Structure 1
Amino acid sequence: MAAFGTVFTPDMMLAEFANNQWSEPALVPVNSISLHPGAHVLHYASTCFEGLKAFRHADGSVHIFRMDRNIARLQQSSALLALPAFDGAMLRQMILDIVKRYAADVPNPPGSMYIRPTHIGTEPSIGKAAAPSLNSMLYVLLSPVGDYFAGGARPLRLLLEDNARCAPHMGMVKSGGNYASALQPIMKARAAVQADQVLFCPNGDVQETGAANFLLIDGNEIITKALDASFLHGITRDSILTLARDRGMKVSERELTVDELLERAVKPGAEAALSGTAAVLTPVGTLIHNGQEYAVGGGQTGNTTASLRQALNDIQWGKAADPHGWLTKVC
């Protein structure tokens, strides 16, 4: 089977901003983009994107999960990168149109159709290092995917690092540059201690990994960093916390230090997990800090992690009620 995210549908939706106006969105071949080598995005990283999914239900219908939240976050990222503003209704229709066109290609559970709206600055100017791109391109890619973890999600190993994932004021922007800045630390952690990911903890403040939010589960309490500009405001994170509150769990969004994390994570029954669109809710089994390994909850997948993951999947797959109105029916 092809690697996750490497297969694409033949067409995508695309709109362009030039002369202070957006073009009419159009269906175009996925390989049709042409960029000037001086395009702003290629030199000054004026790029942001989203990741969301469409799911097939047992009756054959197709539903997109939390589309409006992803659109709003892309608008926020675009504004913070000084990219041209776009109407959320335009992108919403672009997503609906392309997903409906390829509805027959949406896999059955546990697969899904991964949706990647992307906004990039296209103005051909290498003299605008300190100025925004006046032109841009907004497009929507589709990628039919299987389960992110073939054979099931195993508990991950995380290396705690006393550095930030990205510039503190850019953390809430879903931009390619933030992922690029995390890549070298992750590669070094894999080589040095066989870690799966790095948990970035600047000045002892537990934040996020290179591609997911972090949650500590201690009994009936979930602890995760309070929202600020330094890290990504995950939509899966928000969904999991909402489901936890529905169950009567205590959700503490606050500062979490490395010292407190290591003290609580080794307690019997403690759990830790990463949340994200691709991995949903993935267990963490080992924390590595200053050359020492700490087993979280005995290093196994915790019951609460597994239960919350299943609860979210059941809503996405139409196996449970959708009390919060998270699903948008496409067809």
Structure 2
Amino acid sequence: MASLPITELNARAREIFRLAVEGYIASGQPVGSRTLAGAGGLNLSPASIRSVLHELEGLGLLAAQHTSAGRMPTELGLRLFVDGMMQVAEPTAEERAAIERQVTQPGPIEAALAATSAILSDLSACAGVVMVPRRDPRLAQLQLVPLARDRALAVLVGADGSVENRVVEVPLGIAPGALEQASNYISAHLGGRTLTEAVQAIAAEIASGRSALDAASRDLVERGLAVWSEDAARRPVLIVRGQANLLDETTLTDLERVRLLLEDLESKQSVADLLDSAREAEATRIFIGAENRLFALSGSSVIASPYRDRDGRVVGVVGVIGPTRLNYARVVPMVDFTAQSLGKLIG
């Protein structure tokens, strides 16, 4: 069901709707007419307010768990509020400083991203998520060291000084010199290339018949490079921190929803796929409840913003996942500021 324009509501209905949504976001509880009457500024009786609440319910913007209970916004109502009524509050100086401290801490970029996800989780009281930039390291050296008759240890040294080890299968009876020849070939001819460039270059050279390698060494070169190509595709690209924030006093009556949410978070690739849909967005994206298939059953919201390198290329996404009663006005600009700070880190 499409959200109706906010202009379709008269001034009185807009104000009551706004107060009802803000009251629900603040407390996590349905808001009743007496509460709204006591909020001040309406100058309406509880009976008049109940009449407006009933109209808003008929429009699909509010819902009541019980006939005599207060109202809470539906996902349609939350979307209308976020798109047409929300007044964002910029992060405080303390919040900005806390985020920037984590972003600029020394060490590997993955450590900074994990720390950023954790501080965003703490500040928003949600689960913080960061998609790690897909790295394609440049090769400096690859050494194949025999381990057994059918296995070798491939040691990859990146141009940035990083070292990674993988065990690769080798054909039985391979000549000892073939391992050394393959290692020397990669280091001498493919050094300085990214892994993707190296794989493409060796494939092109072999296909054209220009390779000086014999068949056995050629096979070893392909195996040594392929092990990182396959591993990169499987490597987790998502950091999640603060799942415990999803368990508060308001969830005790809705444990099934929380269980579903935690199960969804365990499926990191699915969450990464969802965040990936925000990569092309110009600004922060907000997914409310069933607007995203992954969290439809748990009724959760996702706020996500892409972050870019100095050339303006999107390299990752940062965001939070929490209940639909998120304080959107506070969390949206917080996520946006974090994305901007990460962009400075990536450079």
TM-score range, shorter chain: under 0.3
Which of the pair is proportionally richer in helix?
2
Which of the pair is proportionally richer in strand?
1
Give the TM-score of the pair, scaled to structure 1.
Answer: 0.23
